[in-house]
């Protein structure tokens, strides 16, 4: 079969119309690739549009405040990608005078730009024959070529890259790469692939051998780390205003540079799923004069390799309590970048929409 010719003609007839497919502006292609990693197109598209509107070129993004970038990213998860995005914009302005470098290797030297993104930009913008291998491509190629080895081991990855390299269309490498990803996303899907009408059905090894459901194969999963977080939601009144304490997350852990509440994490292996009682909270956070207003039901939040169970304990004080956290006016809380878990709590507890009335 002429694999690439068949694929390109399918792509030209079936591709979805997406804003980054009508441009060869490296900034926009890069932005779309970073946003769409591990994100469905329907979910990522509004973020792409928000970013382009807020920062139409790389110089604008470089000049933005990191907090604004994290805020715009809020809800997409994987916040290190947003931090890298911002840092890389600065790198491009500083080192390359605002112009994206035009080779695969120099693209890869940018922060947050790995094999996949460098190959996508190199092929789509600079017409270089660098194959892109994402989850869609892996699924599609392993099925067509009947590869049964786990796809998360390096030898299989190399094999898949070799197949993509052999097949890439040198005259239209960008379209070829996008066609592979699009075919995996629309036809050779994880569940219920469209084998019946598939243009590759007569050559597909997985279909011929009855292995479509078991390819791509993966190595056994890593254990998921269980974490139990107890959050102090402490408000206080000062003058005519209500304040709340926030905790800026630093260090090498999830949600770096985002804000959550003062928190206690139960050590692994303890009976940590049970709620803390009021006395323990008062002792731990030195809350002598604050009034306890109740605790939330447990919240479960799933991250890659982590399962977080959180509870929120609400206290209010008539005066400021000296704590090593950031006190912010409650009505300014939404301008801080926060993890999805905290956002869920704020919405479900209605803390922002039904605040107590400060004394007049």
User: So which residues are the catalytic ones?
Assistant: 33
Q: What's the distance, Cα to Cα, between the start and end of the chain in Å?
A: 79
Q: How far is the CB of 45 from ligand SF4 (least distance, A)?
A: 25
207 forms part of the interface with ligand SF4 (CB under 6 A): yes
Q: Which helix (H) or strand (E) holds 342?
A: helix 340-349
57 versus 212: smaller Cβ distance to ligand SF4? 212
342 forms part of the interface with ligand SF4 (CB under 6 A): no
Q: Which residues are CB-contacts of 195 (< 8 A; sequence separation ≥ 6)? A: 201, 204, 207, 212
Q: How far is the CB of 186 from ligand SF4 (least distance, A)?
A: 10
Q: Which residues are CB-contacts of 71 (< 8 A; sequence separation ≥ 6)? A: 335, 336, 337
Name which position in 188, 232, 341, 342 contacts ligand SF4 (CB under 6 A): 188
CB 69 within 8 A of CB 76: no
Using CB under 6 A, which of the segments 62-70, 203-211, 228-236, 303-311 binds ligand SF4?
203-211
d(C-alpha 234, C-alpha 79), whole Å: 26
In the block, residue with structure tokens 């008539």? 318
Locate 192 and state its tokens. Answer: 């219920």
Q: How far is CA 350 from CA 267, 298, 310, 342, 345, in A?
A: 30, 16, 17, 12, 8
Using CB under 6 A, which of the segments 69-77, 124-132, 194-202, 349-357 binds ligand SF4?
194-202
64 versus 212: smaller Cβ distance to ligand SF4? 212
Locate 137 and state its tokens. Answer: 């491509």
187 versus 290: smaller Cβ distance to ligand SF4? 187
In the block, residue with structure tokens 């190959």? 119
Using CB under 6 A, which of the segments 30-38, 64-72, 198-206, 228-236 binds ligand SF4?
198-206
CA angle at 35 for the pair 135 and 305, rounded to the nearest 5°: 60
Residues 148-187, one symbol each (x = binds ligand SF4 by CB under 6 A, - = not), give ---------------------------------------x
Q: Which of residues 136-155 bind ligand SF4 (CB under 6 A)?
A: 140, 143-144
Q: Which of residues 282-321 bind ligand SF4 (CB under 6 A)?
A: none
Q: Which of residues 230-289 bind ligand SF4 (CB under 6 A)?
A: none
204 versus 287: smaller Cβ distance to ligand SF4? 204
CB 111 within 8 A of CB 88: yes
CB 203 within 8 A of CB 209: no
Q: Which residues are CB-contacts of 244 (< 8 A; sequence separation ≥ 6)? A: 233, 234, 235, 261, 327, 328, 330, 333
194 versus 318: smaller Cβ distance to ligand SF4? 194
Total interface residues for ligand SF4 by CB under 6 A: 15
Name which position in 206, 254, 341, 342 contacts ligand SF4 (CB under 6 A): 206
Locate 324 and state its tokens. Answer: 């090593």
* Count, residues in the chain: 360
Name which position in 176, 200, 245, 325 contacts ligand SF4 (CB under 6 A): 200
Positions that interact with ligand SF4 (CB under 6 A): 140, 143-144, 187-188, 193-195, 198, 200-201, 204, 206-207, 212
């Amino acid at each position: 079969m002429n694999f690439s010719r068949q694929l390109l003609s399918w792509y030209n007839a079936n591709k979805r119309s997406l804003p980054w497919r009508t441009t060869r502006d490296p900034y926009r292609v890069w932005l779309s690739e970073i946003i769409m990693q591990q994100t469905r197109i329907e979910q990522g598209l509004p973020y792409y549009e928000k970013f382009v509107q807020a920062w139409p070129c790389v110089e604008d993004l470089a000049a933005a405040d990191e907090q604004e970038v994290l805020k715009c990213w809020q809800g997409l998860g994987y916040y290190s990608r947003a931090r890298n995005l911002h840092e890389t914009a600065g790198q491009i302005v500083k080192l390359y005078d605002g112009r994206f470098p035009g080779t695969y290797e120099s693209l890869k030297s940018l922060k947050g730009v790995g094999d996949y993104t460098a190959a996508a930009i190199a092929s789509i913008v600079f017409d270089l024959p660098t194959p892109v291998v994402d989850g869609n491509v892996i699924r599609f190629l392993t099925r067509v070529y009947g590869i049964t080895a786990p796809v998360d081991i390096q030898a299989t990855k190399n094999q898949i890259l070799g197949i993509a390299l052999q097949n890439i269309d040198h005259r239209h490498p960008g379209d070829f790469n996008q066609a592979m990803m699009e075919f995996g996303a629309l036809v050779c899907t994880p569940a219920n692939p469209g084998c019946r009408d598939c243009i590759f059905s007569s050559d597909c090894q997985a279909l011929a051998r009855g292995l479509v459901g078991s390819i791509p194969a993966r190595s056994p999963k890593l254990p998921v780390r269980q974490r139990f977080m107890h959050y102090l939601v402490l408000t206080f009144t000062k003058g005519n205003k209500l304040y709340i304490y926030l905790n800026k997350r630093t260090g090498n852990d999830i949600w770096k540079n985002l804000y959550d509440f003062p928190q206690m994490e139960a050590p692994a292996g303890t009976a940590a799923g049970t709620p803390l009682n009021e006395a323990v909270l008062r002792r731990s956070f030195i809350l002598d004069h604050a009034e306890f207003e109740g605790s939330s039901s447990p919240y479960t939040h799933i991250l890659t390799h982590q399962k977080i169970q959180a509870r929120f304990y609400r206290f209010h004080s008539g005066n400021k309590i000296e704590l090593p956290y950031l006190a912010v006016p409650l009505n300014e809380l939404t301008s801080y970048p926060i993890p999805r878990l905290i956002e869920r709590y704020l919405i479900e507890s209605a803390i922002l929409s039904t605040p107590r009335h400060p004394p007049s």
